[in-house]
Homo-oligomer: A and B are copies of this chain.
Amino acid sequence: MANKQIPYKIYLEESEMPKAWYNLRADMKNKPAPLLDPGTHQPMGAEALSGVFCEELVKQELDNDTAYCPIPEEILDFYKMYRPAPLVRAYCLEEKLQTPAKIYYKFEGNNTSGSHKLNSAIAQAYYAKKQGLRGVTTETGAGQWGTALSMACAYLGLECKVYMVKCSYEQKPFRREVMRTYGASVTPSPSMETEVGRKILREHPGTTGSLGCAISEAVEKAVNTEGYRYVLGSVLNQVMLHQSVIGLETKAAMDKYGVKPDMIIGCAGGGSNLGGLIAPFMGEKLRGEADYRFIAVEPASCPSLTRGVYAYDYCDTGMVCPLAKMYTLGSGFIPSASHAGGLRYHGMNSVLSQLHADGLMEAVSVKQTEVFEAAEQFARVEGILPAPESSHAIKVAMDEAIRCRETGEEKTILFGLTGTGYFDMMSYEKFHDGKMDDYIPTDEELAAAVAKLPKVD
C-alpha cells in the first residue's frame, strides 16, 4: 500500500481557484493559422465573425497575444457551484496495476452536464447575455454540450435552442429530457425549421442527420433570428481559453503538494478538454521553464492527428463555417458509429494542431474495445463510471503505468477524466454482450476524403 501523505482527492479552496483564464497562444512562437472566409479564402476579422458569434467571444477567438483573460465575477460565482473539480490520486488503480507509477486524474464529471463542457458553456452564455442577446443556438450530438449550454442558459435566463442530431434525439431520449428540464428547446435535426434542414430532408428523405447538418441549421437559425447568436462547444480557440481553468486548477493543486507530472494525457476530439488541461504546463514548456510529455489520445476510428493531414479545411460538413488550418481527415469524412460520440470529429483545434506539427505534443490512437476494457477495470477500483471519451485517456494512462511496472520507473502520470458515462450505458451493454466492433478506416478511405479538401494557397 502506498504511503498516503497526499490525499485521495485534492480540492482547492475557493480562494485558490484561478481568477483568469490562460491563453496559451500568447506563449507560442508559431501561432495557430488564422480562420479564413469559406468563400474568399481571406483571413476573417472581428466584423466578419460577429454576425455569427458574440462580440466578446470573437475578440477572444482572435487574440493571440494576451496571456491572461480575467474571469468575470459572475462566471466565477457559477464555477463555485461545481468547481474546484477534484484532482484525484488513483491509489486504488496503482495498487491494482501493481505499478510504481503515481497516477493522478483531474475529474470534471461532478456536475449535471457530466463533463467539462460546462466551463465554456457558462462563459459563452454570459457574454451573450452581456451583449444583450435574447438567446443562443447550438448543435449537439451525444448531448453533453447541449446539456451544459442548457444549464448555463437556465441560470442566466437566456433562451437556448438546440439542434440535436436526429438519431441521437431518438436513441437518447434521456439526454433530451435533461435539456428540457433546463428549459431548452430541443429540435431533432434535420428539421423543417430551416432552409438547409428542408433542403436536406428533400434530398435525403428519412435521413437520421449528422453533426455537420445540425451545425448548419443552428448557424442559419442564429443568423436569421433577432437577438440570437451561435455558440460552439469545442474546436474554437475561445473554448480552449475557457477550458484552461482545468489545467490551471490542476497545476495549482499539484504545486500545492509539490508534485510534478512526467506526462500529461488527454482524450482528443475537437480538443477542448485536452487543450484546457495541458495549457499551463505547455506554457512552461514553451517558455523553457519545465519539460513534460504530452499525449493526445484519439479513437482509431477517427484518427485526425495520427493519420490526418495538416491543412485548411471546413469546420463543418455543411461548409458554411470558416476554414481552419488543422489536422483533418477531410470535412466529408464520416467516422464509423463508434461509442465515443464526443471524439467523432474530422478535425482538431488549431492550437493543438500547431503544437503537434511543431513536435511539442505526441498523439496515439486506440481501439474502442480496449478502451471499454480499461474503463471497466477503472470503474471497479476507482468507483467512477467513466464516459467512453474519457476512457481513451484512461487506457493510455494504464498502459504507461504498466510500462513503469516493467521498467521499475516511478513516473508521475496525469490524465484528464473529462466525464461520466451515465448516459452511455447502451454502449457498455454492447461491450458486455461482445457486440462492439473495432472498425478502422482504410488508407483508401482516408485518401478519398482528404482529396476533397478545399484548395487554399
Contacts and interface: CB of A to CB of B under 8 A. Distances in A.
A114 B383 CA distance: 11
B177 A429 contact: yes
Given A7-B80, A81-B8, A110-B110, A182 B380 contact: yes
Contacts of A382: 81
Nearest to A107: B110
Contacts of A181: 376, 379-380, 385, 428, 432
Given A174-B426, A376-B181, A383 B80 contact: no
Given A11-B11, A14-B8, A80-B8, A380 B154 contact: yes
Interface string A379-392: 11111110000000
Interface stretch (A43-51, A327-335, A362-370, A417-425): A417-425
Interface in A186-200: none
A151 interface: yes
Contacts of A182: 379-380
A98 to B, nearest CB: 15
Nearest to A432: B180
A64 interface: no
Interface in A371-403: 376, 379-385
A28 interface: no
Contacts of A441: none
A366 B426 CA distance: 34
A222 B86 CA distance: 39
A224 interface: no
Contacts of A412: none
Interface string A406-448: 0000000000000010110110110010000000000000000
Contacts of A318: none
Interface string A295-321: 000000000000000000000000000
Interface string A80-116: 1110000000011000000000000000001110100
A111 B420 CA distance: 10
Contact of A383 (B82, B384, B422): B82
A371 to B, nearest CB: 14
A155 interface: yes
Residues of A contacting B: mostly: helix
Given A376-B181, A379-B182, A432-B181, A112 B384 contact: yes
Contacts of A383: 81-82, 111-112, 151, 155
Interface residues of A, number: 43
A67 interface: no
Contacts of A426: 174, 177
Interface string A12-28: 01100000000000000
A361 interface: no
A426 B232 CA distance: 28
Nearest to A381: B155
Contacts of A379: 112, 154, 181-182
A344 to B, nearest CB: 21
Contacts of A112: 379, 383-385, 420, 422
A422 B422 CA distance: 7
Contacts of A80: 7-9
A193 B112 CA distance: 39
A77 B92 CA distance: 9
Interface string A151-192: 100110000000000000000011001101111000000000
A114 B379 CA distance: 14
The 3 tightest CB contacts between A and B, nearest first, are A174-B425, A8-B80, A154-B380
26 contacts: A7-B14, A7-B80, A8-B14, A8-B80, A9-B81, A11-B11, A81-B383, A82-B383, A92-B155, A110-B110, A111-B383, A112-B383, A112-B384, A112-B420, A112-B422, A114-B422, A151-B383, A154-B380, A173-B425, A174-B422, A174-B425, A178-B385, A180-B429, A181-B376, A181-B379, A182-B379
Given A114-B422, A181-B432, 17 more contacts: A7-B13, A7-B14, A8-B14, A8-B81, A9-B14, A9-B81, A77-B91, A81-B92, A112-B379, A112-B383, A112-B384, A154-B379, A155-B383, A178-B425, A178-B428, A181-B428, A182-B379
